[in-house]
């Protein structure tokens, strides 16, 4: 439950321009689509995917690190880690189960011939796009659990794209189609207010002291 009184109070610590920006950006966020990276080896690739999610309004990024734990490279993410919700898993099964429970179709991105072309992808249902390791792609577990396989049409000698490039191409296409549709893709009013509160708190350097004063003033 969002504390709207607290939100209004904290917003007084930001410029009007900043508050307007938060409202504008959050109104364009979506959870209709989400992105998953599975055991991506190069740190900068996962960080770049996070930045791509932010750019295209994807609120949630799921990172599976079953083989080796990593961290988000802040220089590559360029602050996106403040605005995109990151969920980490040490087992692919956990991630698959969570997304299935939330009603997402599991979409395995692959260059294989039998995969559906991007231009033919159905955007009407919630979808989680899985991107795998740079060298070998997605695991057999994801392939076996996938509801659908998706590929980016390619016409040259090279058969694969960098993971962050693939994510950008796919998200640009499906998000553009989503925004032109009549599908209710936006966050709920409650979710939008929740994000605004989180973002506002992250933007106030002395947030601990500000919250303490707020609680004292309101006898909380």
Answer for the pair 145, 107: CB distance below 8 angstroms, yes or no.
no
**For position 198, what pLDDT does the model report?**
96
Q: Is 31 helix (H, G, I), strand (E, B) or coil?
A: coil
| Locus of tokens 């904290």 | 10
| Locus of tokens 């109104």 | 27
Answer for the pair 60, 85: CB distance below 8 angstroms, yes or no.
yes
Spell out the domain ranges in the chain: 30-185
Other residues' Cβ atoms within 10 Å of the Cβ of residue 126? 17
Domain 30-185: assigned CATH number = 3.40.1280.10
| Angle of the 189-203 helix axis to the 4-11 helix axis, nearest 10 | 40
**For position 72, what pLDDT does the model report?**
63
Q: Is 191 helix (H, G, I), strand (E, B) or coil?
A: helix
The residue with greater pLDDT, 70 or 220, is 220
Split at pLDDT 50, 70, 90, the class of 37 is very high
Element (H, E) at 189: helix 189-203
Among 18-32, 39-53, 201-215, where is mean pLDDT lowest?
39-53
Percent pLDDT > 90 in the chain is 70
pLDDT in tens, 157-190: 777 788 889 999 999 999 999 999 999 999 999 9
**For position 74, what pLDDT does the model report?**
64
């Amino acid at each position: 439950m969002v504390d709207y009184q607290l939100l209004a109070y904290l917003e007084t610590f930001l410029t009007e321009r900043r508050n307007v920006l938060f409202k504008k950006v959050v109104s364009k966020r979506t959870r209709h689509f989400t992105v998953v990276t599975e055991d991506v080896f190069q740190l900068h690739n996962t960080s770049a995917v996070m930045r791509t999610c932010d750019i295209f309004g994807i609120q949630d990024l799921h990172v599976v690190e079953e083989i080796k734990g990593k961290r988000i490279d802040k220089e590559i993410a360029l602050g996106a880690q403040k605005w995109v919700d990151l969920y980490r898993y040490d087992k692919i099964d956990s991630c698959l189960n969570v997304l299935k429970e939330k009603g997402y179709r599991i979409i395995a991105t692959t260059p294989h011939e039998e995969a559906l072309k991007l231009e033919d992808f159905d955007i009407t249902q919630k979808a989680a796009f899985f991107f795998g390791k740079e060298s070998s792609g997605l695991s057999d577990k994801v392939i076996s659990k996938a509801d659908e396989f998706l590929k980016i049409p390619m016409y040259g000698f090279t058969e694969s794209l960098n993971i962050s490039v693939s994510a950008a191409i796919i998200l640009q296409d499906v998000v553009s189609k989503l925004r032109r549709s009549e599908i209710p893709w936006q966050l709920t009013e409650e979710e939008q207010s929740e994000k605004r509160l989180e973002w506002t708190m992250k933007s106030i350097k002395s947030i601990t002291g500000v919250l303490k004063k707020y609680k004292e003033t309101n006898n909380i």
